[in-house]
Amino acid sequence: MYYELYLRSFADGNGDGIGDLKGATKKLDYLAELGVDGIWLLPITSSPAYHGYTVTDYYNINPTYGDIKDLKTFLDEAHKRKIKILLDIPLNHTSPNHIWFQRALAGEKPYVDWYLWLRNEKWLNARRPWDGQPVWSKLGGKWVYTLFGPGSPDLNYESHSLWEEIKRVLAFWLAIGFDGFRFDAAKHIFDFSMEKGYCEYQHDRNISFWKEMIDYCKKINPHSIFIGEVWDSKEIVDMYSSVFGMGFNFSLSYVIKESVSELSPWRLVEGVKNTMSNYFDENRNYDFGIFLTNHDMSRLVTYMNGNKEKALLALSTLVSLPGVPFLYYGEELGMEGEYREFYNEEQLEPFQWFEAGYGPLQAEWKACGKNLPYKGISLEYQQNVDNSYYQRVKKLFEFRKQNSWIENAMILEMQNSDGLVSIELVGNGKSAMFIHNYTMGEKIVDKNKDPILLNGYLKHGEEFLLGPLSSAVIIHK
By annotation, the residues acting in catalysis are 184, 229
Q: For ligand ACG, which is the closer residue by CB, 232 or 332?
A: 232
Rg for the chain (alpha carbons), in Å?
A: 23
Alpha-carbon distance 29 to 214, whole Å? 31
Residue type, 204: D
Does 241 interact with ligand ACG (rule: CB under 6 A)?
no
Among 296, 338, 380, 398, interactor with ligand ACG by CB under 6 A: 296
Does 111 interact with ligand ACG (rule: CB under 6 A)?
no
H or E stretch including 59? strand 57-61
Q: By CB under 6 A, how many residues form the interface with ligand ACG?
A: 21
CB of 315 to ligand ACG, least distance (A): 20
Residues 6+ away with beta carbon under 8 Å from 451: 435, 445, 458, 464, 466, 472, 473, 474
Among 101, 183, 240, 250, interactor with ligand ACG by CB under 6 A: 250
* Cβ atoms 113, 159 nearer than 8 A: yes
Does 184 interact with ligand ACG (rule: CB under 6 A)?
yes
Alpha-carbon distance 241 to 203, whole Å? 12
Does 233 interact with ligand ACG (rule: CB under 6 A)?
yes
Which residue has the closest beta carbon to ligand ACG? Answer: 53
Binding positions for ligand ACG, 305-344, rule CB under 6 A? 344
CB of 412 to ligand ACG, least distance (A): 27
Among 26, 37, 142, 149, interactor with ligand ACG by CB under 6 A: 149
Among 232, 331, 332, 336, interactor with ligand ACG by CB under 6 A: 232
CA 55 to chain centre: 19
CB of 251 to ligand ACG, least distance (A): 6
- The DSSP annotation for 90-136 comes to --SB--TTSHHHHHHHTT-TTGGGGB-B---GGGGG-B-TTT--B-E
Among 45, 47, 152, 316, interactor with ligand ACG by CB under 6 A: 152
Q: For ligand ACG, which is the closer residue by CB, 184 or 238?
A: 184
Residue type, 80: K
Applying CB under 6 A, the span of 8-16, 50-58, 167-175, 395-403 interacting with ligand ACG comes to 50-58
Applying CB under 6 A, the span of 250-258, 313-321, 397-405, 448-456 interacting with ligand ACG comes to 250-258
Does 130 interact with ligand ACG (rule: CB under 6 A)?
yes
Applying CB under 6 A, the span of 25-33, 146-154, 266-274, 460-468 interacting with ligand ACG comes to 146-154
- Sheet with 471-475: strands ordered across: 410-417, 420-427, 430-437, 471-475, 452-455
* Cβ atoms 391, 33 nearer than 8 A: no
Among 25, 47, 54, 224, interactor with ligand ACG by CB under 6 A: 54
Query: E strands along 119-179, which residues?
Result: 136-139, 142-145
Q: How many CB atoms lie within 10 A of CB 364?
A: 16
Q: For ligand ACG, which is the closer residue by CB, 184 or 309?
A: 184
Does 238 interact with ligand ACG (rule: CB under 6 A)?
no
Binding positions for ligand ACG, 407-466, rule CB under 6 A? none
Q: Is 67 exposed, middle or buried (0-12, 13-18, 19+ CB in 10 A)?
A: exposed
Q: How many CB atoms lie within 10 A of CB 431?
A: 17
Among 27, 51, 284, 375, interactor with ligand ACG by CB under 6 A: 51
User: Which stretches of the chain bind ligand ACG, using CB under 6 A?
Assistant: 51, 53-54, 90, 130, 148-149, 151-152, 184-185, 229, 231-233, 250-251, 254, 295-296, 344
